[in-house]
Structure 1
Amino acid sequence: MKLVLFDCDGTLVDSAALIHETMRRTFVQFGKPEPEIAATKSIIGLTLDIAIARMQGKPHADDEAVQMMAYYKSLFSVVRQDLGFREPLFDGIREVIDTIGPRDDLLIGAVTGKSRRGLKLVMETHAFDKYFIVGRTADDCPSKPHPAMVTECCSETGVDPAQTLVIGDAIYDMQMAKAAGATAIGVAWGYASIDELKQAGADAIVHHPRELLALIG
């Protein structure tokens, strides 16, 4: 039995535009300079308070970052509705999930910096909730690259980290996987460069979702 854990933003769904617009409005509300989209993409995957602090060059999340996080969360669904964002799947993802989802020798889960509510919305929107049986979010665990998201999913499913694949687009995903003792697979269609993923410890890089099928086995 293998456990396959997917990151969400930048791996399953293209949510950069939605995240950036919500972040932009949050920074404006707090009198901060509007961030560049490259800055937003660089923190996708982190827990929000840590991400917001890092975008401002702060080493740790302070009280202001926590306040900005709360505002961001209150605004996210509003921006999603106003602009008609639906966090589309990357091309080829549905085919992969529909192929591996019914298999008896695999368990599928999600490890994401999203909130529990945000992950649930993505799963329901794309009808993936029937396949994803385990998940950890920013509401459940310390921020990536802490290994807890992976190790807790392993404990819940009874699968050893050595039999676990973590698939993600961020350096934090790769670092988290290696810290947990799992295999780290980087995806080239997300928000980090291939070199960054390799330097973060990726065991393999895939350039199209269909390549995941051979790595999963």
Structure 2
Amino acid sequence: MSELRLVIFDVDGTLVDSQVMIFEAFTHAYKQVGLPVPERATALSYVGMSLETIFPQLSPEADAATHAALTQGYRDAYFHIRQTQGSNANSPFFPGAREVLDQLRAQDWTLMAVATGKSTRGLDKLTEGHGLEGYFASRQTADDHPSKPSPSMINTILSETGVSPDRAVMVGDTTFDMDMARAAGIKTIGVSWGYHPVEHLQADRLIHAFAALPQAIDDLIGPQG
């Protein structure tokens, strides 16, 4: 049998374009507690981290109770938007993403996984909305791990799949993703369409379209073993 390889995906800003939905949730949360809504670019630059980590950094002047209220307000708003409008409308795939996921899934020697700052409930709804059941051998969320860039999610994925670090790669759009992967000792592929400027990513490979991903994976961790 060929040696397995592993492709780990971030979700928001990498696989799906959820920025409108995310900023609506930020806006609702801040208005609910009576605080000024942060600038859009500033708020979105924190996407990928766990909510409990985001708000103390985004609004350090607020107290712990306010941070907790912001976190709950965001979750409530996000849930409401998703329930009323659906994942396909508010978190559509980036162009070419579904096609590449299908291509990788068809390879017996390739496993896929997810490491996301989303909650498990959020990931479940997204998976259901896009029909991704069975695509990922491991799904790690903010519910069970410290926030990125801790390598905890990737370490768990490696343990669950049994794939060695030299045959694994992280695909993401933020420095949180890249730093998490480096801390876990795996290669990195940065995408140029996400939340952080590409010059900050310092990825092993940078791609500007999903169609370039399969070759980047082959280059970094090898094709079929």
User: Quick one: distance in 2 between partners of 1:57 and 1:15?
Assistant: 25
Task: Establish whether residue 154 from structure 1 lines up as the match of residue 140 from structure 2.
Answer: no
Distance in 1 (CA, whole Å) between partners of 2:37 and 2:90 is 23
Q: Which residue of structure 1 aligns with residue 66 of structure 2?
A: 64
1:163 aligns with 2:167: yes
Question: Aligned Cα RMSD in Å?
Answer: 1.6
Letter matched to residue 141 of structure 2: T
How far apart are the structure 2 equivalents of 1:61 and 1:171? 27
Tell me, yes or no, if the aligned pair for 2:7 and 2:169 is still in contact at 8 Å: yes
Secondary structure of the residue aligned to 1:11 is coil
Q: How does 1:183-194 map to 2 (within 5 A)?
A: 183-194=187-198
| Residue of structure 2 in register with 1:80 after alignment | 82
| TM-score normalised over the length of structure 1 | 0.93
- Separation in 2, partners of 1:16, 1:66: 22
Identity %: 39
- Secondary structure, counterpart of 2:131 in structure 1: coil
Give the counterpart of 1:54 among 57, 72, 81: 57
User: Which among 138, 141, 148 is matched to residue 142 of structure 2?
Assistant: 138
Do the aligned residues in 2 keep the contact of 1:102 with 1:131 (CA within 8 Å)? no
Q: What is the letter of the counterpart of residue 28 of structure 1?
A: K
Once the two structures are superposed, residues 92-117 of structure 1 have per-residue CA deviations (whole angstroms, 9 ceiling, x without a partner) of 10110010012110110100000001
Task: State the alpha-carbon separation in 2 of the partners of residues 18 and 207 from structure 1.
Answer: 23
Using the alignment, how far apart are the partners of 1:112 and 1:61 within structure 2? 26
Query: Can you give the 5+ residue segments of structure 2 that lack an aligned partner in the other structure?
Result: 219-225
SS in 1 for 2:143: coil
Which of 26, 39, 42 is the equivalent residue of 1:39?
42
CA contact (8 A) 1:49 1:61 kept: no
TM-score (norm 2): 0.90
Secondary structure in structure 2 of the residue aligned to 1:154? helix
- Could you give the per-residue CA deviations for residues 108-147 of structure 1, whole angstroms, max 9, x where no partner exists? 0100000001111111211122211211000011000000
- Number of the residue aligned with 1:19: 22
For residue 204 of structure 1, report the CA deviation from its aligned partner: 1.0
- Secondary structure class of the residue paired with 1:178: helix
- How many residues are matched? 213
SS of 1:210's equivalent in the other structure is: helix
Structure 1 residue aligned with 2:205:
204
Task: Tell me how far 1:79 sits from its aligned partner.
Answer: 2.3
Report if the CA contact (8 A) 1:3-1:164 is conserved: yes
Match of 2:32, as an amino acid?
Answer: Q
Structure 1 residue 83 displacement after superposition: 5.5
C-alpha displacement of 1:78: 1.0
